[in-house]
């Protein structure tokens, strides 16, 4: 894991790896207030974004929309997009990518002059600090909890498809490993997907099989009570 021990500095903030397996990589991004990523695409990988804290404006070549915690968006291969922090304290984001390839990047426009340039080289890397998040995958039947960026993060490795029945419809399910299978073994939700629990329940009603050692992440805002 090339980036496990480093923070990558950006003109808009910084990012670092928080988890990786053979199928997916999960990154944490901090975007400073008023700053934005380049208008870029990933020709060969799919990405999912979950806003943890703050508010962002996500733009495409033809339109844009605002997104608050803990909303999510899936971005297909080749779709040009940019993320801007519009809240006063900046924005904190999880980005999941599959397949794993940080250098799968084409920059079209950039307010910092990086148009057409590749991903940052090692001169932009600094060692991680002690408070940087690193996520560990739980053993089968177990869960691990984290509190990060004003969010409660729960990882579960499950074997029982009925686990989803007890989850709130509004929760977003991030698949870290495994997924949901048809009778023919076709994945209808798999590692790298971020899906609302309401949709997951619709899937399992028709396809009640879960792959071996399926690991999921559920993110919710920390209660102030």
pLDDT in tens, 56-81: 999 999 999 999 999 999 999 999 99
Q: Residue 170: its pLDDT value, please?
A: 87
Report the sign of the C-alpha dihedral through residues 35, 154, 200, 215, in that order.
positive
pLDDT at 59: 98
Is there a contact between 153 and 198 (Cβ–Cβ < 8 Å)?
Answer: no
The more confidently predicted of residues 171 and 89 is: 89
Confidence of residue 225 (pLDDT cuts 50, 70, 90): low
pLDDT of residue 142: 94
Q: What is the mean pLDDT of residues 88-108?
A: 97
pLDDT value for 93? 98
Tabulate helix, strand, coil % of the chain (nearest 5): 10, 45, 45
pLDDT, tens digit, 9 for 90 and up, residues 45-61: 999 999 999 999 999 99
**Is residue 155 within 8 Å of residue 215, measured between CB atoms?**
yes
Average pLDDT, the chain: 95
CA dist., res. 34 & res. 98, Å (int): 28
pLDDT recorded at residue 224: 67
**Is residue 164 very low, low, confident or very high in pLDDT (cuts 50, 70, 90)?**
very high
User: What is the rounded CA–CA span in Å between residue 153 and residue 151?
Assistant: 6
Q: What is the pLDDT of residues 126-151, one digit of tens each?
A: 999 999 999 999 999 999 999 999 99
Domains and CATH numbers, the chain: 6-127 (2.60.120.10), 143-221 (no CATH)
> Where in 21-148 does DSSP place strands (E)?
25-31, 39-41, 46-53, 56-59, 64-67, 72-75, 82-85, 91-98, 106-109, 125-127, 143-148
Under a CB-based contact definition with an 8 Å cutoff, are residues 47 and 19 in contact?
no
Measure Cα distances from 51 to 46, 63, 87, 93, 184 in Å: 17, 19, 12, 5, 35
């Amino acid at each position: 894991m090339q980036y496990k021990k480093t923070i990558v500095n950006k003109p808009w903030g910084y990012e670092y790896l928080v988890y990786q397996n053979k199928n997916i990589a999960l990154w944490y991004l901090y975007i400073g207030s008023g700053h934005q990523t380049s208008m870029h695409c990933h020709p060969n990988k799919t990405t999912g974004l979950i806003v943890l804290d703050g508010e962002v404006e996500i733009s495409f070549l033809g339109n844009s929309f605002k997104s608050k915690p803990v909303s999510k968006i899936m971005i297909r291969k080749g779709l040009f997009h940019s993320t801007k922090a519009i809240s006063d304290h900046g924005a904190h984001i999880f980005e999941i990518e599959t397949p794993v390839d940080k250098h799968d990047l084409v920059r079209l426009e950039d307010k910092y002059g990086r148009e057409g340039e590749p991903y940052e080289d090692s001169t932009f890397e600094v060692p991680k600090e002690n408070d940087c998040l690193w996520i560990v995958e739980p053993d089968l039947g177990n869960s691990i909890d984290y509190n990060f960026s004003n969010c409660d993060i729960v990882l579960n490795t499950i074997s029982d498809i009925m686990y989803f029945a007890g989850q709130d419809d509004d929760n977003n399910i991030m698949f870290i490993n495994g997924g949901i299978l048809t009778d023919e073994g076709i994945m209808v939700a798999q590692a790298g997907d971020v899906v609302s629990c309401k949709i997951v329940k619709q899937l399992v009603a028709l396809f009640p099989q879960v792959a071996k050692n399926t690991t999921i992440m559920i993110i919710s805002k920390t209660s102030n009570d």
